[in-house]
Amino acid sequence: MKKQILTAIIAIATTSNIMAQEHKQHKGHGDGKPAHSANEYMHKASTEELANRFESPERDAYQQPHKVMEYLGNIKGKTIMDIGAGTGYFSVKLAKHGANVIAADVNDEFQTYLKKRIEENNIKNIELRKIPFDSPNLKDSETDMVLIVNTYHHIENRSAYFAKVKQGIKKGGELVIIDFFKSDVPVGPPTAHKVSIDEVIAELKQVGYTSFEVEMNLLPYQFVIKAK
């Protein structure tokens, strides 16, 4: 029993340390610009270093992807765009659950990393898509769902951006946003760079979303908004 308790304490301490490092790295963005600054810290670390962090057990501890996948429900056969796919943290999980995934990112190195990951694991249902900062590059009614995790707060001119997202979602489809609470939690950017739930809903209403499901208790440091 003592050994189990000690192991749990070590795991918690390690997780807290990783979270603190991530929080510290975001603190360089003091200019208030939410978009292009999103990748500034990425250029200071190698893709391999970032991949190790993004795919780590420490991230699993707070991101709790199993809960997210349960929340999304039956996605088999659905076309889902993962905006800000990065290393494929969620893209691979979506594909494993039977979705046809469009893994979208602005970063060439992450797209290359994910291409290699797809090939090494013989994943057939992920399409890579390099996108610009100001557009999801979606065709009209191309997807059943758009998922955007820890990326909403980085996007500039969100009204215009998510109007394009809305055009790319089929009738009856949904946008799912997961992002950090606008408070001083140990992960994510500084509080000033975060976007509150009320702000997200107000911005999405401007471009025609009318139905919102808000989940505040699923994850410890993040909210989930499902919009239609």
Average pLDDT over residues 118-129: 97
Q: What is the pLDDT of residues 57-73, one digit of tens each?
A: 889 999 999 999 999 99
Domains, the chain: 2-227 (3.40.50.150)
User: Which residue's structure tokens are 């340390």?
Assistant: 17
> Would you state the pLDDT for residue 170?
98
* Beta strand 126-130 pairing with 143-149: unpaired
> Would you state the pLDDT for residue 44?
54
- Name the pLDDT band for 51 (thresholds 50, 70, 90): confident
CB 215 within 8 A of CB 67: no
Q: What is the pLDDT of residues 170-211, one digit of tens each?
A: 999 999 999 999 999 999 899 999 999 999 999 999 999 999
Give the pTM.
Answer: 0.81
Based on the number of CB atoms within 10 Å of its own CB, is 38 exposed (0-12), middle (13-18) or buried (19 or more)?
Answer: buried
